[in-house]
């Protein structure tokens, strides 16, 4: 069965942006992921097709070749690695002194294989159509919490083998990953052909929204409720962290509602670095409720002292 057009597989237009392609893949990959559709061969095949399409269209170089040569783009790469210049102003060019072949601006995909055989199978080109071909990379979407992104975590996944069986892998997700980060597992992608190396497996990370913390880059923002009197007079409050601890923060007197305090170096780890972002505590002043009669009198006296009408 002929392969479907990769753009049709992802349901995007040929001129789609990288973001549109990424979003389309994530939506469909979650729907057809084998973990969510156990023992469903149709979903498994669909997920594999989606991963293959995304692996090509998400890579600018591969996408450019695919847009011109269709599903023969891998043969183009093999020819280029052997020194054949594909797509230049002069058409196909091989080693110095070799005959240039200009096949024009358009090549039909069905004819490309024969053209490679004619050009690369002869003497002096050093390329064979059935030479070693590296296996394709494979994307594997995973979802983690903000706390896991903060501290790093392990994921146990299963990948399908060529014989239909499954291999279990334990993969370390480093601290500081962001939404869309790709964690590489070398050599665990599609097997190569004719002795070619296997591709790589990439875990595409999706970080779940968090009810307590808002993330902006490597900085974190959280809201801290502060009683009115403590905001007015000053005092100590406690700020939560993603590691499950609390940090003491001393508020000055007359702290305003919405005022923001910076706790340096308490934010998200910077991926691949020992540095960290900052944690910002945003103050939300909480008014007292269920006042006693005496408390109302005191507030009335305060209003009178400040010349405020009630």
Residue 13, pLDDT > 50, answer: yes
Phi, psi angle pair for 139, to nearest 5°: -95, 140
Does the domain at 138-207 match CATH 2.60.260.20? Answer given as yes
Each domain of the chain, given as residue ranges in start order, spans 6-120, 138-207, 214-305
Cβ-proximal residues to 205 (8 Å cutoff; 6+ apart), any chain: 142, 143, 144, 149, 173, 177, 178, 179, 180, 181, 182, 183
Q: Give whichever of 6-20, 48-62, 206-220 has the largest mean pLDDT.
A: 206-220
Nearest to 173 by CA among 272, 50, 54, 241: 272
Range 214-305 has CATH code 1.10.150.130: no
Taking only the tens place, the pLDDT of each residue in 33-59 is 777 777 788 888 888 888 888 888 988
3-state DSSP assignment of residue 195: coil
What is the reported pLDDT for 294?
94
Cβ-count burial 292-307 (b if 16+ within 10 Å, e if not) = eeeeeeeeeeeeeeee
- pLDDT (0 to 100) of residue 274: 85
The CATH number corresponding to 6-120 among 2.60.120.10, 1.20.1340.10, 3.40.50.300, 1.10.287.110 equals 1.10.287.110
Task: Give pTM, 2 decimals.
Answer: 0.58
Hey, do 138-207 and 214-305 end up sharing a CATH topology, with the first three levels equal? Answer: yes
242: nearest Cα among 261, 226, 221:
221
């Amino acid at each position: 069965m002929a392969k479907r057009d990769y753009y049709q597989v992802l349901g995007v237009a040929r001129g789609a942006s990288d973001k549109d392609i990424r979003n389309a893949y994530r939506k469909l990959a979650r729907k057809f992921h084998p973990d969510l559709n156990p023992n469903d061969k149709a979903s498994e095949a669909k997920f594999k097709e989606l991963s293959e399409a995304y692996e090509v269209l998400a890579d600018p170089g591969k996408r450019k070749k695919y847009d011109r040569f269709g599903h023969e783009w891998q043969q183009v790469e093999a020819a280029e690695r052997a020194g054949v210049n594909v797509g230049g102003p002069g058409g196909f060019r091989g080693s110095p002194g070799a005959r240039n072949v200009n096949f024009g601006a358009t090549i039909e995909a069905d004819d490309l294989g024969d053209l490679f055989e004619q050009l690369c199978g002869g003497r002096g080109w050093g390329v064979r159509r059935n030479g070693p071909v590296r296996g394709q990379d494979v994307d594997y979407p995973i979802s983690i919490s903000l706390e896991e992104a903060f501290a790093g975590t392990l994921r146990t996944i299963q990948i399908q083998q060529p014989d239909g069986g499954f291999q279990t892998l334990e993969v370390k997700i480093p601290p500081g990953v962001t939404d869309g980060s790709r964690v590489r597992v070398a050599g665990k992608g599609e097997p190569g052909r004719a002795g070619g190396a296997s591709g790589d497996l990439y875990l595409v990370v999706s970080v779940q929204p968090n009810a307590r913390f808002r993330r902006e880059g490597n900085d974190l923002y959280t809201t801290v409720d502060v009683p009115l009197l403590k905001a007015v007079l000053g005092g100590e409050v406690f700020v939560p962290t993603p590691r499950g601890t609390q940090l003491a923060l001393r508020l000055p007197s007359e702290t305003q509602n919405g005022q923001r305090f910076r706790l340096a170096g308490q934010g998200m780890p910077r991926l691949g670095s020992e540095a960290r972002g900052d944690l910002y505590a945003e103050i939300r002043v909480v008014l007292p409720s269920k006042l006693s009669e005496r408390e109302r009198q005191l507030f009335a006296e305060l209003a009178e002292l400040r010349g405020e009408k009630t």
